[in-house]
Copies of this chain bind each other. A is one copy, B any other.
Amino acid sequence: MKTYRSYAAGDTILWRGEPLEFVASVVSGVAALSKTLEDGRTQMVGLLLPSDFIGRPGRRQIEFDVTATSEVTLCCFERRPFERLVEETPNVAQRLMELALDELDAARDWMLLLGRKTAREKIATFIEMLARRSNPDGTADPSRLALPMTRDQIANYLGLTLETVSRQFSALKKDGIIDFTDRRSFTVTDLAALHDETGDDADGGIVP
């Protein structure tokens, strides 16, 4: 009833429209949801990290491709028993609802980024997201970071080209905001300056 599957970086896990016989949760690695136009332009529309979920109650297929960004291990369940579980246990249904709402919030931030931010703001936002994710509490040294994907994948994530991504990384380095140790890992030299580059509102609304 519960099986594990592994995928190498770059593998396609699911094609758009493929009937979903399983639901799965990510055990390790990073997978991406993406959509493609008829001429091949693609845009990532979601990122799956460990504990994230593929497949939804009542949906028999998905409207996007799922590919492994790094090596990925999934924990898969058959759809039927899973749906029975959801119907019988309100807590599970509620948890799935929370996951969906979190994804929706993330999608909306991402829409603001795609529609209105400049290339530099997109890269700064991306780095800040990495920093926050790898250091949720703001306690430990947040400066050393590893890029979880190639320039090309970052471009797909941010609605840019890989050349622009590369140039913006170089520019942030030249401006003393980040510093590369090797091409997949770097340190954030000036976190406050980085935040100033994101274009984001100082912070949230009315609450004190």
Chain A contact residues, CB within 8 Å of chain B: 15-19, 33, 35-39, 41-43, 45-46, 56-59, 61, 63-64, 87, 90, 93-94, 96-98, 100-101, 103-105, 107-112, 114-117, 158-159, 199-202, 204-207
A94: chain B residues within 8 A (beta carbon): 57-58, 93
A207: chain B residues within 8 A (beta carbon): 17, 19, 61
A15: chain B residues within 8 A (beta carbon): 205-206
* Contact B45 A108, beta carbon cutoff 8 Å: yes
How far does the Cβ of A62 sit from chain B's closest Cβ, in whole Å? 9
The closest CB in chain B to the CB of A202 belongs to: B38
How far does the Cβ of A27 sit from chain B's closest Cβ, in whole Å? 23
> How many identical chains are in the complex?
2
The closest CB in chain B to the CB of A101 belongs to: B56
* Contact A39 B100, beta carbon cutoff 8 Å: no
The closest CB in chain B to the CB of A97 belongs to: B97
In the A-B complex, the 5 residue pairs with the closest CB atoms: A17-B205, A115-B159, A114-B114, A107-B107, A45-B108
How far does the Cβ of A158 sit from chain B's closest Cβ, in whole Å? 8
* Contact A112 B38, beta carbon cutoff 8 Å: no
A104: contacting residue among B57, B87, B103, B117, CB under 8 A: B103
Q: In whole angstroms, how far apart are the Cα atoms of A74 and B115 in the complex?
A: 29
* Contact A112 B35, beta carbon cutoff 8 Å: yes
* Contact A37 B116, beta carbon cutoff 8 Å: yes
